[in-house]
A and B are shown apart, each in its own frame.
Chain A
Amino acid sequence: MKGITQSVLFFFDHLRRSKSFWVTIGGVVVMIVISALISYSVYDNITPGTAVAKIQQSYDFTLINLLNATTQLMIFVGLFTVAITVNSVIKRGVFDIFLSFPVRRWELLTGAFLSGIIFMFVVLLFLTMGIWVIHSSIFGMFYGEVLHWGLLNLLGFVIMFHLVIFVSFGFRSPIAGLLTAIAYSVIVSSVVFVMQQMIQTSSKVWLRETVNVVYWILPKSSEFSSSFFMAGQPTAEGHVLKLIISSLLFIFTVFGLTIIIFEKKDY
C-alpha cells in the first residue's frame, strides 16, 4: 500500500506542475463563468409573473444541459492532462528510473490510475458544485437532485482513462492510448448504445442477442455522459446499477490484464 501512496503522491506532484493542469483549472473557471452567463441570460428572459413551477422547469432544464455539456468537455480536457503525465513518465530514460524504485510494478500502475481518477473527481466536483451554486443563486432556488448524475460522468472518464493506462503501460504508447480511449468513447460506445436501442424490436433473434451481449460486456462511457439520466427519464428497474456493474467488471478485467502485461514485460 505504501507503494501506491508514493506513486499517487508522485503523479499528483507531476500533475500540479504541468501546464495542462492549469489549462484544466482554467477550463473549470471558464466553464463556470460561461454557465453563469447562460444561467443569468435564461433567468433574465423569464417574464415577471411566471409560475414557480415553470421557473423550476427552466431551472432544471438549464442546469442539466449546462452540467452535461461542461462535464463532457472537461472530461476530455482532463483525459489529455493525465495522458500527458503518463507520457512524461513512461518515455525512454525516465521509465527506467521508475522501474528501479523499491516499489512493485502493480503499485506504480495503480498509483498512476488512482491519481488520475482522484484528480478528475476533484475537477468534476468543483465544476458541478460551482455551476450548481451559481445557477441556483441566480434562480434563487436550490435543488440538488441531479447533482449525483453529474458525477456519473466520472465513470465515463474512468472507462476512457483505463484504456489510456492499458495501451500506455502495456505497449508504451500513450498517444495510441489516448486515441483508443477517444475512439472507444465517441464511436464504439455510442454505436453499440444506439444499436442496442434500435434492434430491440428486430425480428432477428441472433442479431438482438449478439448486440445485447456486446452491449452488456462493453463499458458504457457514452451512456454515462448522456443527459438521459439527469433529465430523470424513466429506466427499467435496476438498469443504472446494471450499467455501473457491467462497466466496472470490464474496467477491472482490463486493468487486471494491464497489470499482468506490465508485470511480465521486459523494458
Chain B
Amino acid sequence: MSEIVSSKNLTKIYPGKIKVKALDDFSISVMPGQIFGLLGQNGAGKTTFIKILLGITRLTEGSFSLFGSNEYNHLLKKNIGYLPENIQFPEVFTARQSLAALARFYEMEPSLIKKRTGELFELLGLEKIADRRAKTFSKGQNQRLGIARALLHDPDLIILDEPTDGIDPVGRKEIRTILQDLKSKGKTIFLNSHILSEVEMITDSVAILHKGKLLRTGTIHELTHENTHFEIKISRGLTLEEENSIVYLEKISEKLYRYNGSEVTELNRIIDKVRNLEILIEEITLRKSNLEELFIKTINADERVN
C-alpha cells in the first residue's frame, strides 16, 4: 500500500530581510486509513507543511507526494477536505448558503449538496443555526461549520488544522467520535494540533516537529512505550548481594525499585525472587509516559542540544 501523503527532505525558507526556515529537511509518510498527528509548538512549521501540500505555499527544496503522485496537480485537491486554522466564512452567507456556494468548486449536484449539508449539520449539531449568518457564530460553531465544509464533498484525505480549537469538552468528544467514525470508513485524517491529550486518544501515528525539524515519528504505542516501567515498593531495602541477584531491578530509593520494561513475565520473575527473600511487596505501579511528557521531553532535549 503506498503512502497517501509523504514528504522527502522538504525544506521551506520564507524569503525576506530575515529569512525564516519554517521546515528543515522534513520527511514523513502517512498511510491510507490512518489518523496522523503532526505535533509542535506554535510556529513549529505545522501549518506551513499543510499549506505546501495544498499548494497555498511553495516549497523551497525537497519533494512531497499526494495520493502517490509526485507531480503537483490542482485536481488532486478534489479529494482533500481542509479545515484551516482560524477559519472564517464570507460574511454575506448563512451557514447553509456558505456550504452550497463553496461546494460549487467540487462540482457537486445541488441535490447532493442539500443532502450532505443536512447530514453534516445534524452530525455536528448545527441544524438549529444553519440559517444564521456565519459571522454571528461563536468560535466553536465556526469551527464545526469548518469541519462540515471539509467533509462536504466526502474526501478521502481530511486535513484538519487545530480542529478542536475553541470547542468545549463535550464538543471535542463529539469531534473525536466523528474522526474515529471517518477512520472506520477508510478515510485518512491528517491532524495538526497542540492539544496532545486529544491527539493521543485518536491518532495512530504522530510526528513531533520543532522549529521546522522532525524530532520524532512513530506510532503512539511505539513512542509512549519507550519509557514504560514498573515501580516496586518493598517492605525493606535490599542488600547489595540481593540487589545483584535480581537482574533488571534498579534502585530508586531505600525501599523503591524500578523495573525498566513492560514484560509481564519478567516482572513476575522479579516478584518471585523478591518473595523468595521473604520481602513483602507493598505496591507495584505501572509508570507509562504519555504523549505530553514525551513531547516536552523531546522538545527540551532538542533545546539543550541546540
Contact = CB atoms under 8 A, between A and B. Distances in A.
Interface of A: 2-3, 6, 9-10, 13-14, 17-19, 88-89, 91-94, 96-97, 99-104, 264, 266-267
Interface stretch (B3-11, B73-81, B224-232): B73-81
Contacts of B74: 102-104
Nearest to B84: A96
9 contacts: A10-B104, A92-B86, A94-B89, A96-B51, A101-B77, A264-B58, A266-B14, A266-B51, A266-B58
Contacts of A267: 51, 56-57
A195 B77 CA distance: 52
Closest 8 CB pairs of A and B: A93-B88, A96-B84, A102-B77, A101-B105, A17-B92, A102-B78, A266-B57, A100-B82
Contact of A88 (B75, B92, B105): B92
Given A99-B56, A101-B105, A17 B78 contact: no
Interface in B108-157: 149
Contacts of B75: 102
B246 interface: no
A97 B99 CA distance: 12
A97 B82 contact: yes
Interface string B84-101: 101111111100010001
Looking at chain A's contact residues, is the secondary structure mostly helix, strand, loop, or mixed? helix
B196 interface: no
B84 A102 contact: no
Contacts of B77: 100-102
B54 interface: yes
Contacts of A97: 82, 84, 87, 102, 149
A19 B135 CA distance: 14
B56 A88 contact: no
B163 to A, nearest CB: 14
Contacts of B54: 99-100
Contacts of A18: 92
B186 interface: no
A99 B88 contact: no
Given A9-B104, A99-B54, A102-B78, A93 B92 contact: no
Contacts of B86: 92-93
B56 A96 contact: yes
A14 B90 contact: yes
A91 B90 CA distance: 9
Interface in B223-244: none
Nearest to B52: A266
